[in-house]
Amino acid sequence: MASKHKFYYKTTGVWHKTNPMPRNMNLHFINSTEGWIYFVNKGKTGTFNNKGKAIHDFIETSVIRGNEKKYGIHPTQKPEVLFEHFVNLLSNENDVILDPFMGSGTAGIVSKRLNRNFVGCEIDKEYFKIATNRIEETLEQQIAIDLD
């Protein structure tokens, strides 16, 4: 299906959470990883800002910090530092980042902070409100920084 739409498969990687919820830890393994898949559209190479460093297909961070939840709770909210890694590496300033399932808007906040344009979709009205509040706060902080 991907190749039919001109997406070229590159990598499957892993995000490891250093402090996952230890649910049923005496019954089975703690669920501490999520996968990600990297495709490039229309070609075989895309932006890859590795600055000469070897970048592994494994990234490790803690789950979200308390201050990232201040606009409400989204059950699968990702840490900003995780998305910063991918936005920095795989796009350039003024590029457009699209997140068709933006949830609490983490990709939007990070995109604006890193001077990318952002388009997001979210089907749930409550999550959409959380996302827009978080993104608007980032924009206000940016305007304040610009004025300084």
Give residues in contact with ligand SAM (CB under 6 A): 74, 76-78, 101-104, 106, 121-124, 127
Q: How far is the CB of 121 from ligand SAM (least distance, A)?
A: 4
Angle between helices 125-147 and 106-113 (to 10 degrees): 10
Burial class (CB in 10 A: 0-12, 13-18, 19+), 84: middle
Q: How far is the CB of 27 from ligand SAM (least distance, A)?
A: 25
Please identify, using beta-carbon distances, which residue of 40 and 63 lies nearer to ligand SAM.
Answer: 63
Joined together, the tokens standing for residue 68 give 């990232």
Q: How far is the CB of 87 from ligand SAM (least distance, A)?
A: 12
Q: Residue type at 15?
A: W
Instruction: Give residues with Cβ within 8 angstroms of 135, minimum separation 6.
Output: 105, 108, 109, 112, 118, 120
Please identify, using beta-carbon distances, which residue of 8 and 63 lies nearer to ligand SAM.
Answer: 63
Q: How far is the CB of 7 from ligand SAM (least distance, A)?
A: 19
Joined together, the tokens standing for residue 63 give 């789950």
Residue number with the shortest CB distance to ligand SAM? 103
Please identify, using beta-carbon distances, which residue of 46 and 72 lies nearer to ligand SAM.
Answer: 72
DSSP helix/strand/coil, 35: strand
Please identify, using beta-carbon distances, which residue of 8 and 136 lies nearer to ligand SAM.
Answer: 136
Please identify, using beta-carbon distances, which residue of 60 and 124 lies nearer to ligand SAM.
Answer: 124
Distance CA 93, CA 115 (A): 5
Q: How far is the CB of 40 from ligand SAM (least distance, A)?
A: 21
